[in-house]
Amino acid sequence: MPAQSESSAEEVRHLRRCISDLVSVLALSATWTGGRPSQIIGNSFDALVSMLSLDFIYARLKNSSAAPFSEMVRVGSGWKSKPLAEEFGKKLQPWLEGDPQKSPAVATNFFGMPRMTLVLLQLGLQAEIGVIVAGSQRSDFPQQTEKLVLNIAANQAAIGLQESSLLSAQIRVSSDLGERVAQRAAELAATNEELRKEIAERKSVEGKLLDTHEKLAQSEERWRLVFENSAVGVALADFDARLLAANPIFQKMVGYTEEELRLRSFLDITVEEDRDLNRMLIKELMEGKREQFQIEKRYWRKDGSVLWARNSVSIVVGTERSPGFLLTLSEDVTERRSAEEALDETRSELAHIARVTTLSTLTAAIAHEINQPLSGIVTNASTCLRMLDGNPPNLEGARETARRTIRDGNRASEVTSRLRALFSKTNATFELFDLNDATKEVIALSVSELQRNRVVLQPELAVDLPLILGDRVQIQQVILNLLKNGWDAMSCVEDRPRGIVVKTERDESGGARLSVKDSGVGIDPETQKKLFEAFHTTKRDGMGIGLSVSRSIVERHQGRLWAIRNEGHGATFLFSIPASTNT
């Protein structure tokens, strides 16, 4: 059956070509991605015309936009002149509006061609996308395979057009969005421009400040370096004494890291006995009573040992931009203090010995001076008696020895007046002076002694104090004496701050009055009576001379020295000196 086999072979070739065409049609869609409808239709029409040897293929696409539809056509090679898509549309109009089920249909005298077989294809299930019309003059058109290729191509095109439509919708949306974004961007750009201008303006101002800023930055850097590398401990705390920052030296001194310190207050790491004084001083800083203070106090190190520190604390008042803080410069004086403490015992022992030695030397000198004439008196008087007792009495000898007795008596009296002159400075130099100035000098001299005794001295010096006439040095001795008395009276006070208030004021009669108020042990009534008697003392190593000498000095200035008991702790010693009549 060669004919049959021939036709079978032909059939196979035909089917192969159909498969190849289908593959091509399916492959076409790959080229449509993102394409416009015209591109999709154009591509597939070109392929179909050549694959199926069509005379033409026409598409009418429904548009969503204003125009009712758009038309497109591709023609085969047999045309002398190619009509426009619109002309095809008009010619095909009866079929386009007719029942698509009547395809294939035959048109006669189609642009001068006697018989044209038309195949109608819907784009979309309800032809909602559009319609395609393929035409061929061949009598065998459309073969089964050709119909299949056309249907599949139409389906592919429909999918492509749908995607394209979705894409264009998306593009529209996104372009809408893009437009709005662009608009907003433009607005922003405008604002930006304004800002830029503003910034530029500001920058020009800032430019002028730049130098200052740079200098500030340099200064800040410098201070930071000072803080970090300072040889003394530097610590900042807030007004509740909570630690804000501490430099490496301070951390090393107390043995805590900065983080550990932040969890504590200064007072937490201060030895209990030193806390009250510290607290009081900080309170005074806050109340503006002082701008800074110095204190020697003890810290508990992290390892439990005690650190003696000499602190200078000042207050840095807050501004709008930064809160205030306490600035502490801290120096480790543990070594010095322990050496001092060891020395203290020795020193007080030595002081006592020195005092006793001085006294015994003095006593010896006095004894020698007085006993010499006394010895002469006794011897002469004895001789005199013996001469009178003689037989006969030696009257001449007795007279002579009696005369010597009187002479030695006078000599003894001279010795005592010489001693009095020695002990009381008779050549006092009286001058006009300001009691405030004299007081300030004494306070300045006493600073280290006050610190050693952990005493806080608060001066309250009057501004309207009259000048006084007197021996400035002697009055200063009195002030020093009263101060010393004050801190001695507080030497065993541990349960409260050791404070001395030195106050000067104009007294009721226009004179100058100075008072020294301590918070020490105070005076009991019994002691008060004897307070100013020479050699009365309540101190272990006292001589009991200070107050009596002080009183005699003040009285020589026509003044008065007295003491009162405080309502709370301690006592107040006061003296008044009349104002100079020369002023």
Partner 1 sequence: MTDGQEQSSIKESLVVVVVDDDESVRESLPDLLKEFGFTVLAFSSADEFLASESLDRTTCLVLDMVMPGMSGLDLQAELRNRGRKIPIIFITAQKDESIRKRVLDQGAVDVLLKPFSDTALRKALSKAMGED
CB atoms within 10 A of CB 121: 22
Q: Which is nearer to partner 1, 278 or 380 (CB)?
A: 380
CB of 408 to partner 1, least distance (A): 6
Q: Which is nearer to partner 1, 343 or 385 (CB)?
A: 385
d(CA 102, CA 276): 114
CB of 376 to partner 1, least distance (A): 4
Residue 249 and residue 232 in contact, taking contact as beta carbons nearer than 8 Å: yes
Residue 58 and residue 71 in contact, taking contact as beta carbons nearer than 8 Å: yes
Choose which of 103, 156, 383, 519 interacts with partner 1 (CB under 8 A).
383
> Is residue 377 a contact point for partner 1 (CB under 8 A)?
yes
> Is residue 367 a contact point for partner 1 (CB under 8 A)?
yes
251: left (phi over 0), alpha (psi -120 to 50) or beta: alpha
Which of these ranges, 305-313, 375-383, 475-483, 517-525, lies near partner 1 under the rule CB under 8 A? 375-383
Q: Which is nearer to partner 1, 216 or 364 (CB)?
A: 364
d(CA 501, CA 506): 16
Q: What is the dihedral of CA 252, 255, 258, 260, to 10 degrees?
A: 180
Choose which of 411, 536, 556, 565 interacts with partner 1 (CB under 8 A).
411
d(CA 490, CA 500): 9
Choose which of 245, 327, 374, 534 interacts with partner 1 (CB under 8 A).
374
Cis link prior to 114 (omega < 30° from 0)?
A: no
Choose which of 43, 137, 372, 451 interacts with partner 1 (CB under 8 A).
372
Q: Which is nearer to partner 1, 167 or 374 (CB)?
A: 374
Residue 148 and residue 18 in contact, taking contact as beta carbons nearer than 8 Å: yes
> Is residue 379 a contact point for partner 1 (CB under 8 A)?
yes
> Is residue 397 a contact point for partner 1 (CB under 8 A)?
yes
Residue 317 and residue 288 in contact, taking contact as beta carbons nearer than 8 Å: no
> Is residue 382 a contact point for partner 1 (CB under 8 A)?
yes
Q: What angle do CA 94, 97, 99 make, to 5 degrees?
A: 100
CB of 387 to partner 1, least distance (A): 7
Q: Which is nearer to partner 1, 405 or 576 (CB)?
A: 405
The footprint of partner 1 on residues 347-366 (CB under 8 A) is: 364
Choose which of 371, 548, 552, 566 interacts with partner 1 (CB under 8 A).
371
Choose which of 188, 356, 378, 406 interacts with partner 1 (CB under 8 A).
378
> Is residue 402 a contact point for partner 1 (CB under 8 A)?
no
For the residues of 118-183, what is the DSSP string, one character each? EEEEEESTTSSSEEEEEEE--TTPSPHHHHHHHHHHHHHHHHHHHHHHHHHHHHHHHHHHHHHHHH
CB of 529 to partner 1, least distance (A): 34
Question: Strand 512-518's sheet: what is its strand order?
Answer: 455-461, 498-506, 512-518, 571-577, 560-565
Q: Which is nearer to partner 1, 165 or 394 (CB)?
A: 394
Q: Which is nearer to partner 1, 326 or 398 (CB)?
A: 398
**The token pair that represents 463 in the structure block:** 């501004």
**The token pair that represents 170 in the structure block:** 């998306």
> Is residue 415 a contact point for partner 1 (CB under 8 A)?
no
Beta pairing partners, 133: 58, 120
Which of these ranges, 131-139, 168-176, 404-412, 540-548, lies near partner 1 under the rule CB under 8 A? 404-412
CB of 312 to partner 1, least distance (A): 53
CB of 361 to partner 1, least distance (A): 10
CB of 402 to partner 1, least distance (A): 11
171: left (phi over 0), alpha (psi -120 to 50) or beta: alpha
> Is residue 386 a contact point for partner 1 (CB under 8 A)?
yes
**The token pair that represents 94 in the structure block:** 């009866």
Cα separations in angstroms, 113 against 32, 99, 210, 258: 34, 23, 91, 103
CB of 491 to partner 1, least distance (A): 35
> Is residue 376 a contact point for partner 1 (CB under 8 A)?
yes
Q: Which is nearer to partner 1, 409 or 544 (CB)?
A: 409
Q: Which is nearer to partner 1, 367 or 445 (CB)?
A: 367
Question: Hey, is 296 helix, strand or coil?
Answer: strand
Instruction: Report the run of H or E that residue 281 belongs to, with start and end.
Output: helix 272-286
d(CA 501, CA 572): 9
Distance spanning both ends of the chain, measured CA to CA: 162
The footprint of partner 1 on residues 298-317 (CB under 8 A) is: none
CB of 399 to partner 1, least distance (A): 12
> Is residue 410 a contact point for partner 1 (CB under 8 A)?
no
Which of these ranges, 89-97, 196-204, 401-409, 507-515, lies near partner 1 under the rule CB under 8 A? 401-409
d(CA 569, CA 577): 27
**The token pair that represents 570 in the structure block:** 């301690």
Residue 231's contacts (CB-CB under 8 Å, 6 or more residues apart) are: 249
> Is residue 580 a contact point for partner 1 (CB under 8 A)?
no
CB of 413 to partner 1, least distance (A): 14
> Is residue 380 a contact point for partner 1 (CB under 8 A)?
yes
Question: Hey, is 336 helix, strand or coil?
Answer: helix
Please tell me the count of residues contacting partner 1 according to CB under 8 A.
Answer: 23
CB of 400 to partner 1, least distance (A): 8
Q: Which is nearer to partner 1, 376 or 466 (CB)?
A: 376
- Residue ranges in contact with partner 1 by CB under 8 A: 364, 367-368, 371-380, 382-383, 386-387, 390, 397, 401, 404, 408, 411
